[in-house]
Structure 1
Amino acid sequence: MSQSVADDLMDPQFHANPHPSYATWRREGPVRPVLLAGGAEAWLVTRYDDARKALSDPRLSKVRGGLSTLQGDIDQALSSHMLAVDPPDHTRLRRLVSTAFTVRRIEALRPRITEITNSLLESAAAGPSSFDLIDAFAFPLPIQVICELLGIPADDRDDFRTWSNVIVGGVAYKDEFPGAATAMVAYIRALLAARRTDPGDDLLSGLIEVRDSADRLSEHELISMVFLLLIAGHETTVNLIGNGTCLLLSDRSRWERLRADPTLLPTAIEEFLRYEAPVETATFRITTEEVMLGGQRIPPRSMVVIGLLSANHDEDRFPDPAELRLDRAQNPHLAFGHGIHYCLGAPLARLEAQIAFGALLERFPSLRLAVPASSLAWRPGLLLRGLFTLPVTTAPE
């Protein structure tokens, strides 16, 4: 792979609006060499069919094989979860965690999610007419839900936000990354120790006790799983609420249409997930042998980045993909992945979004952007697609 012909995915202009680049690449080189942080080389997959195949191809391994820059103990504590291993380890971990992370448990959260949502919106309504929707609503809702689900003090959510922003922020936070990772591991270790002496009716206690015959989660696996649930359990929903609201308010006819017909909410949420996917790329994979993908020969031990956002805009899979359709009925997007690594928390994210958007539309019928949409800044990094802030206002125009 030649660096001179590789596209730079770390380019700030690309992050500001990746859609034009993705569209060009789908036409002119759907599986192509790219540069990542620090000049690392990888292959980017941009089309839907290729992405779907790659997501379920066992020759594309999740095992990183010494690519981390963290110290061994910290690295192991953050990379022993389901998203970082292959079968049979993945099969075992998912089975153990699924025992505690059930659909029934998630659905039982509906009244509490509704209560948290209403409380946050009441606080926003009682404050100034202009506010940041991310700070006031999109962030505190999912972080409070996942903290309560795990049994973690919500008072620590600002620490989680700081660590999470650094850990998923990529090269923009490379200097802060080791410190944030070390702090988060230490915090989770302390939580586990406290819960062992004082267990409760929460997911954290359940993960400590979960067993399958003689099998159970190791200490590193426990820390890593809590880390994954904390990060993935709120980051996706923060971006789903923020990105979806931005899409609605960028053209208020969409906002008014959804207010007039709330039955569109389920399909609208799926369209938000497709159009401005909260997760831009899947966590990277490494080829274990030579792989042919999209007509491109990828050598063994090559890093592969699967573009979920790009795949969700593939013209060959979605009619008029650049058009936001609140009533798009056939919408097999890849926002939550595909195959054995399909997001375990997808039902929770959908439930939170359904409650959040329904309440937001009802509570703030005149909500609009407080700044031009073109001035909004997107968070750095290739993994997630989300806004730093979303200034909105309820004041009359």
Structure 2
Amino acid sequence: MAHLTDAWLGPLPEFLQQSGDQGVVPVVTPAGDKFWLVCHHALARRVLTDKRFSRAEAVKPHAPKANDAQPVPDSMMSMDGTDHARLRRIVSGAFTTGRVAGMAPYIERLTDQHLDTMAALGPGTDLISGLATPLPLQVLCSLLGVPPEESHQFRDRVEVLFDISASTPQVKARRRLELVGYMADLIERKRQEPADDLLTSMIGAHDRGELSMAELLTMGLTLLMAGYETTVGQIGLSVLHLLSHPRSYEELGGRPDRLAPTVEELLRLTPATPLSFTRVATEAVPLGDVTVQAGEGVLVSLLHGNRDARAFPEPGQLAAEGQDAVHLTFGHGVHRCLGAPLARLQLQIVLDRLLQRFPTLRLASGPDPFVWKDGQGTRGLSRLLVDW
């Protein structure tokens, strides 16, 4: 397996810029803590399903940390076992394949509106600010029940919470309190005027005693934050990959039957989330050629696992017909991303509409047509200028 130094991957933490040939390697994270980094696809799947690697232990105060952009303890992403299953069950119905498919016409209308604006602005427009950022925000606000005119209440604050270098823990704490205050106010308004949305459904679950007020607040913010930042990143990264390999974009335009497998390949090759959340071993666990001791931290490199030649015959290439192994971008096991069907649908619609409207789409000429976000817990672009 090659080092992850491809210029198209953008800035990565230093501990990720290494070979994954050994499968499991010791690393020191930016937080200064020692971890085992899992780079082997099969071993990654094992870690993500083995109950001995605990998410709940990983958010305790003295657990090893990868960075300070970690979920709070009452988040569904920070729980194990029955607590995790209880919270997941409450919201999973909103993310079934059938329910998500029903949102397709709405997402298509939104995408067309943003592309109309791009066309009016003309070549040289920024696809990130013009499409990749507003679309996921509108979709999530609609699903959860956030009034569209209030989306600015959390958009800028969310980026601060995902920032792992530029903002201090104190700034993050203040932004988190501001977001909690907004969500608490929105919940009270939903109680007075319930609607057919996910937040109203979650309020009903709280009233039935199925989740606490703290869990309700955290769940609302988690669904918005996680689904927003990662989908913005995934749209930008996927379009960049296609435009930096122009033949792939051109060929895809004439083969709509290849859209779905191409989306899966783009998710595999350039995931917005490069790493799993941290896990801590609750007992000694043999893993590949090492033994992870109780109390030690484990991170799964989704980037390495997705490019593992032991699982993918064309690890660094976009395979036109897809590949047999399943990528790790949405995770694996009980913590697999709930929003995967919604993220996948948005990406498919965006690429389909772009190919139809702008068959000659290309990176803008001139210096720096794209700019990477740096210091974020997720990967993405702050700018992607395009011509056609």
TM-score scaled by structure 1? 0.87
8 Å CA contact 1:185, 1:223 repeated in 2 = yes
Q: 1:79 to 1:390 in 2, by over 3 A?
A: farther
Q: In the TM superposition, what whole-angstrom CA distance separates every residue of 1:161-206 from its partner, at most 9, and x where no partner exists?
A: 3222111221332353122212111111111111112111111101
**2:35 aligned with 1:42, yes or no?**
yes
Alignment match, 1:237:
231
- Distance across 2 between alignment mates of 1:44 and 1:381: 19
- Counterpart for residue 150 of structure 1: 144
The residue number in structure 1 matching 2:272 is 278
How many residues matched? Answer: 377
Match for 1:326 among 311, 314, 320?
Answer: 320
Q: Which residue of 2 aligns with 1:174?
A: 168
Larger deviation, residues 368-377 vs 237-246: 368-377
- For 2:108 and 2:229, how far apart are their aligned partners in 1? 19
2:96·2:341 contact (CA, 8 Å) conserved in 1?
no
Kindly state the Cα deviation for residue 25 of structure 1 after the two structures are TM-superposed.
Answer: 2.6
Q: Give runs of aligned pairs for residues 181-196 of structure 1, distance below 5 A.
A: 181-196=176-191
Q: State how far apart, in whole Å, the 2-side matches of 1:76 and 1:37 are.
A: 13
Give CA deviations for 1:38-83 in whole Å, capped at 9, x if unaligned.
3222221111011111001111111111259xxxxxx999432221
Q: Tell me if the contact between 1:34 and 1:42 (Cα under 8 Å) persists in the aligned partners.
A: yes
Matched, 1:115 2:109: yes
- Name 1:130's counterpart in structure 2: 124
Distance, in Å, in 2 between the alignment partners of 1:38 and 1:281 is: 15
TM normalised by structure 2 equals 0.89
Alpha-carbon distance in 2 for matches of 1:374, 1:209:
49
3-state SS, counterpart of residue 322 of structure 1 = coil
Structure 2 runs not aligned, ≥5 long: 64-68
Q: Is the 8 A contact 1:281 1:382 kept in 2?
A: no
1:348: how far off?
A: 0.7
CA distance in 1, matches of 2:367, 2:342: 28
The percentage of aligned residue pairs carrying the same residue is 37
Alpha-carbon distance in 2 for matches of 1:373, 1:19:
25
Matched, 1:389 2:387: no
**Farther-moved stretch of structure 1 (126-135 vs 325-334):** 325-334
Question: Relative to structure 1, is the Cα distance of residues 55 and 328 closer, same or farther in structure 2, using a 3 angstrom cutoff?
Answer: same
Query: Per-residue deviation at 1:157?
Result: 2.9
Offset at 1:345? 0.8
Compared CA separation, residues 280 and 256, structure 1 to 2 (3 A): same
In structure 1, the partner of 2:196 is 201
Pair 77,40 (structure 1): closer, same or farther in 2 beyond 3 Å: closer
Cα distance, 1:300 vs. partner? 1.5
Deviation of 1:31 (Å): 1.6
User: Shift of residue 308 of structure 1?
Assistant: 0.8
2:311 aligns with one of 317, 321, 331:
317
Q: Distance in 2 between matches of 1:23 and 1:321?
A: 16
Q: Distance in 2 between matches of 1:387 and 1:376?
A: 7
